[in-house]
Structure 1
Amino acid sequence: MKIKKLLIIEYVFEIALIIILSFIYYLNKPIETPKVLYIHKGSINNIITQMKENKYDVNKLDTFVLRAIGLPQSGWIDLTNNINTKADFLYKLTTAKAALQNVTLIPGETTYVFLHQLADKLNLNVKKLQEVFKTLSPIEEGALVPDTYRVPIGITEVELITLLLKVSNEKMQEFSNKVFGTYNQVKWFNYVALASIIQKESANIEEMPLVSSVIHNRLNKGMKLQMDGSLNYGKYSHVKITAKRIKTDTSQYNTYLHKGIPKIPVCNVSFDAIRAAIFPTKSNYLYFVKSKSNTHEFSCNYSTHLKNISDTKRNK
């Protein structure tokens, strides 16, 4: 009987040793993920399910390990490397936090310029950023909400554009629901297109409803908008508009050449500009010109407009 018991003990020990060695081997297996990973808040089961949906090599055994070592952090996780051992990966999920930095999109800036700024600041590939944006964005321009975004160092081009568009879309829908009680994408971006010209032309937020009224009044009379700001699109965001440019630019953005508002917004706009596009001041203004104080002088007729232009030139 003693021999039989010893054999059973030896067998159990061998099985236990095999299990332990297999577990150690498992924990030392490599797992490949992005260096920076976003983890949603939730239970361990939900987090593992989320990672499986993202095609990461995790399973129920990882759920067991995490229950033993702790709940994963939520938010951005800095894993340091693309490839970690399973043990390091699970440990970092519970302890690591990503280093974040601010990136700011100012109202009136074009996506072309902003993506170049992001590439420089975050050491990313601008061509890839442009390709991902073109693939994921619902519109060529105006899909981003000007704001300061907290993004993790090490984020990829795909992750960054996905994040910016997701946050922007949520904010746009929230604002639209407050104003209209619903969100219609086509209707929304029609207002964004109008707001983008308001954004480019206005000297300050207070002027926006007045500039909007000029645009609405000119459209109602069938007049061309003839606004320089519409030509500050894409890479021309900060380029001074000249008479030569007005004559030679045949794009849809040339409101000296084409009637109406460009179908695609000129730039990314603030909610102040969108509010002004929706709710213009009631006026008879048809013209405006920049004054000495860098604000604008508004007028209802062309003769007064010419006088305002003359006064502005005289005071320079």
Structure 2
Amino acid sequence: MSVLRNTVRTTWIAWAENIALVFIISFAFYTTLPLKTTQTLFVPQGSIGNIISQLTKKGYELSVIDSYILRLMGSPQSGWIHIGKNELNRIDFLYKLTNAKAMIHKVTLIPGETSELFLDMLSQKLKLDKGKLQKYYQEFSPYPEAGIYADTYYIPYGIKEKHLMHFLVRESEKKYKSISEKIYGNYNQKQWQKVLIIASIIQKEAANNQEMPLVSSVIYNRLKKGMRLQMDGTLNYGKYSHIKVTPERIRTDKSTFNTYKHKGLPPSPIGAISLSAITAAIKPAKTDYLYFMKNDKGVHDFAKTFKKHRKNVRKAK
């Protein structure tokens, strides 16, 4: 009887070993099968089962076995990833789903730039519809300009116009709210718009960060005395961001951005602003300056009187 038991046990062990060997060979063969793909791939959000299902619907020959393999490898990241090849074996493809680098666009909004030109750059670089970008910017931003904080942003590949504008404005609002709460203890959009207007003028006029508190003091001093600001930078709004302000432009521009003709501040910010400009708008230097003129060194000479200002103008010319 013991001999029979041993024979049966040996037979079962041999059978199990054969099955295991067949499984290992089959599994190895399965994982090395070639799989066609695109060099860039969008991985949907959701569970591993949902990801496999969605990719299968897009023509990828995947199965439940791939779900188990993925669970052992880790969780796939959602969004656009760079595969780098049009064909690779199955195990390498599954590895790419969990380890490939996300495709990211790096975009920078330069301080002083207008949304008109920034959105134009975005539409070209990200191949998006400028009209839709403008539509959603106006829908989400509480400010006509400066609704997007001047900074560098990392944008996922394949993002649509609505989501992009929502992301940029939301991140900017977080930044503004954080700064405002640190200084004022709250965040009031009406109050903050005035800060942004002054900061945007400072951004356009100052030659460097060190000058910003001085330019800010000139703005506040002129407003306090009821003087027109008479600053070229306020005419660099919208599509005029990089257009040189000429005497003819000053005469013909009838908008309320023309501070040579209209007293007070422009109706809204004139461009994107930096933290340095915001800080200067909130904390101007304590001076009696009413004028400034760019000199041959590219920075400004500040003056308390018109007589001194005229002297600076003659020196610059």
TM category (shorter chain) comes to 0.7 to 0.9
Alignment correspondent of 1:88: none
Which whole-Å CA distance do the structure 2 matches of 1:38 and 1:258 have between them? 54
Once the two structures are superposed, residues 200-220 of structure 1 have per-residue CA deviations (whole angstroms, 9 ceiling, x without a partner) of 000000000000000000000
Distance in 1 of aligned mates of 2:293 and 2:224: 20
Partner of 1:252: 256
Partner residue, 2:223:
219
Is the Cα–Cα contact under 8 Å of residues 141 and 147 in structure 2 kept in the other structure?
A: yes
Point out the structure with max Rg over C-alpha. Answer: 2
SS at match of 2:135: helix
**142, 152, 173: which one pairs with 1:169?**
173
Q: Secondary structure at the match of 2:105?
A: strand
How far the C-alpha of 1:240 sits from its partner, in A, is 0.1
Q: 2:267 aligns with which of 249, 263, 270?
A: 263
Report the CA distance shift for 1:267/1:36 in structure 2 as closer, same or farther (over 3 A): farther
Do structure 1's residue 135 and structure 2's residue 139 form an aligned pair?
yes
Superposition CA RMSD, Å: 2.6
Q: Deviations over 1:157-187 (max 9, x none)?
A: 1121111111111111111122122211111
Letter in 2 for 1:176: S
Taking the aligned partners of 1:213 and 1:128, their CA distance within structure 2 comes to 39
**TM-score if structure 2 supplies the norm length?**
0.72
Among residues 133, 137, 156, which one is paired with 2:160 in the alignment? Answer: 156
Which secondary structure state, in structure 2, belongs to the residue aligned with residue 102 of structure 1? strand
How far did residue 118 of structure 1 move?
A: 0.7
Query: How many Å apart are 1:68 and its aligned residue?
Result: 5.5
C-alpha separation between the residues in 2 aligned to 1:182 and 1:295?
35
State whether residues 106 and 155 of structure 2, in contact with CA within 8 Å, keep that contact through their aligned partners in structure 1: yes
Q: 1:230 aligns with which of 207, 229, 234?
A: 234
From 126, 129, 138, the counterpart of 1:125: 129
User: Alpha-carbon deviations, 1:45-97, whole Å to 9, x = none?
Assistant: 9xx9xxxxxxxxxxxxxxxx7996776455644499xxxxxxxxxx8986665
Q: Distance in 1 between matches of 2:312 and 2:108?
A: 36
Aligned equivalents of 1:175, 1:74: Cα separation in 2: 33
Superposition pairs of residues 173-212 of structure 1, within 5 angstroms: 173-212=177-216
The residue that corresponds to 2:279 in the other structure is 275
**Counterpart of 1:130 in 2: which secondary structure?**
helix
**Structure 2 CA distance for partners of 1:75 and 1:209, relative to 1, 3 Å:** farther
In structure 1, which of residues 281, 285, 291 is the aligned counterpart of residue 289 of structure 2?
Answer: 285
CA–CA separation in structure 1 for the residues paired with 2:99 and 2:309: 65
Within the alignment, does 1:308 sit opposite 2:309 as a pair? no
**Aligned-pair distance for 1:269?**
0.5
How far apart are the structure 2 equivalents of 1:292 and 1:68? 66
Q: Which runs of 5+ in 2 are unaligned?
A: 1-40, 51-66, 84-93
- Residue among 236, 244, 247 paired with 1:243: 247
Aligned length: 249
**Contact conserved, 2:295 with 2:316, CA < 8 A, in 1?**
yes
Would you identify which runs of 4 or more consecutive aligned residues in structure 1 move more than 2 Å?
35-39, 65-80, 91-98
Among the aligned pairs, what percent are the same residue? Answer: 46
Distance in 2 (CA, whole Å) between partners of 1:291 and 1:37 is 56
- Post-superposition Cα deviations, 1:128-149, rounded to whole Å, max 9, x if no partner, equal 1111111121121111111111
Counterparts in 2 of 1:207 and 1:69: CA distance versus 1, 3 Å? same
Work out whether residues 42 and 79 of structure 2, in 8 Å CA contact, stay in contact via their aligned partners in 1: yes
Distance 1:136 1:142, change over 3 A: same
What's the CA shift for 1:284? 0.4
Contact 1:44 1:71 in 2 (8 A): no
Instruction: Work out the CA distance in 2 between the residues paired with 1:38 and 1:309.
Output: 62
